[in-house]
Amino acid sequence: MKILRWISTHPIWSLLIFILVSTALVSIFSGGGESNYNTVLAEKGSIKQEVSVTGKLMPVEDVDLAFEKSGKVSLIYIKVGDKVFPSQLLAKLDNSDLIAQLAEFEANVDSQKAKLAELERGTRPEEILIQETKVESAKSSVEDAKKNLVDKLNDAYTKGDDVIRNKIDQFFDGPRTSNPQINFAVLDVQLENKLNTTRKYIETMLIEWKDSVDALSPISDLDSYVSMTNTNLDKIKSFLSDITLALNDLSAGVSLSQTTIDTYRTSVSTARTNINTATVNVSAADEKLRGAESTLSLEQNNLALKKAGTVEEQITAQEAAVKQAEAKVQSALAQISKTIIRSPISGTVTSQDIKVGEIVTANTKIISIISEDNLEIEANIPEVDIGKISLGNKAKITLDAFSGEIFSGSIVYVDPAETIIEGVTTYKIKLNFDEEDSRIRSGMTADIDLITAELSDVIIIPQRAVITRDGEKLVNVLIDGEIREIVIKTGVRSFEGMVEVISGLEEGEEVVVSINK
């Protein structure tokens, strides 16, 4: 029964068997002769060219996943066998430090955007009013500083005058005359002469200094007054130093007691202290004035800027600052993404090799996923058959797991490069099923009959009737009882042993399949 069913589904073989049986009967009942010919008629029909190979079902997508950073595993969301979908969170490293950094960067973005909005809005009237108040306050500070400096300059003169005329002049006879003379014995004659001469010049200096400070006011050229005062104080300091040297050489005697000498020295010490104090006070007051004037200049500039409004360059610079802050946010997000694994496809988890708390290194495979719904067949075509293969070729597929069932599919990929298997050159192809079947699993073995050509209404004869000689294809044709060799051109050859005749034969001609002698 199986043989009859097979014959009924293969009409070409049925025709061939019929012809062979008929030829045998004719030979038997004809009583024989010198030769018996087994012939077939060249007839038009359909022919299929097939290539048979074995392949294996593979997932269309198969991915191995790893963290892009090293770190400690904090969470695992899947296990082997779980179904996953694209972008589903699978595992995560501890990234609390990166999250904190991201928050900081995001806050900076908000701050920079606020500054940009302020620049784009421009200066409000209220802000100008506030700045004008700051300018007026700075002006008051400058006026106060000038008055303070005038007081210190006047005080410096007072201290200088007191030091010379009340504390030092006790050592001179005629101190305010044109020829003052020191009234105690000075061992160093040159020092004595210097002291007398200096006292004479200091008197002139004090007179001119008094005239100057009498004209002093906050609107005066205070810089020149400060310079003159410092010069005068330095001269007095030098004079006091020389007086100290002269007093240091004194010793108690009939004309001077030790108590008097000590009193002299105390007076000079006090005088030097007062001059140093005056110097410090003038310097501090001058510095305070300079600071107040600097603050006033700054506040005036700020007022001018606010009244002028925001320039385009400021807005451009602030826009760049916003972009820079946003870039830091994106960089932080990129670093965080490297601590997270998400599924790139829909499929099934086939391996998971990590535990919570485990330290993993970057780029080490820890999770594998295969697509389940979309499977394809991979097979290798021998070099001799690859020329028959092309994209889109249909295929009949049988699976060892489902004996007797035939599935249909087609070629979707042909590898342009060869694959060497045990020294044999092959070419990898991939096939898709025409219809999905939930029973099909990855790893199953498939037997594939590739239909590489399918022709109809062409002349076909048995392949065994074709003779190859000197590179030509020949057939024996029975014409008027005689056998003649005819050159033909063949085309597609079927799995059942039939061959297409492209030229050389006409439909109905009797082709000799074999000769029995």
Nearest to 265 by CA among 241, 247, 283, 286: 247
Q: Retrieve residue 128's tokens.
A: 């100008």
Q: What does the DSSP assignment read for 13-55? A: HHHHHHHHHHHHHHHHHTT--S-EEEEEE-EEEEEEEEEEEEE
In CATH, the number for domain 2-60+374-516 is 2.40.30.170
Q: Are 467 and 476 in contact (CB under 8 A)?
A: yes
Nearest to 242 by CA among 202, 282, 279: 202
| pLDDT tens, residue order, the chain (517 aa) | 334 444 545 555 455 555 554 544 444 444 444 557 788 988 998 888 878 889 888 877 778 999 998 999 999 998 998 889 889 999 999 999 999 999 999 999 999 999 888 777 777 888 888 989 999 999 999 999 999 999 999 999 999 999 999 999 999 999 999 999 999 989 899 999 999 999 999 999 999 999 999 999 999 999 999 999 999 999 999 999 999 999 988 888 767 889 989 999 999 999 999 999 999 999 999 999 999 999 999 999 988 888 876 778 888 998 999 999 999 999 999 999 999 999 998 888 989 988 999 999 999 998 998 876 667 889 989 888 888 888 988 888 999 888 889 998 899 889 888 889 888 899 999 988 888 887 888 888 988 888 888 888 999 999 988 999 988 999 999 988 889 999 999 988 887 888 999 998 988 899 998 876 6
Domain chopping of the chain, boundaries: 2-60+374-516, 62-94+339-370, 103-122+311-335, 126-308
Alpha-carbon distance 463 to 493, whole Å?
8
SS (H, E, C) 178-244: CCCEECCCCCCHHHHHHHHHHHHHHHHHHHHHHHHHHCCCCCCCHHHHHHHHHHHHHHHHHHHHHHH
Domains 2-60+374-516 and 62-94+339-370 share a fold: no
Rg, the chain, Cα only:
59
- The CATH fold of domain 62-94+339-370: OB fold (Dihydrolipoamide Acetyltransferase, E2P) (2.40.50)
| Full-model pTM | 0.42
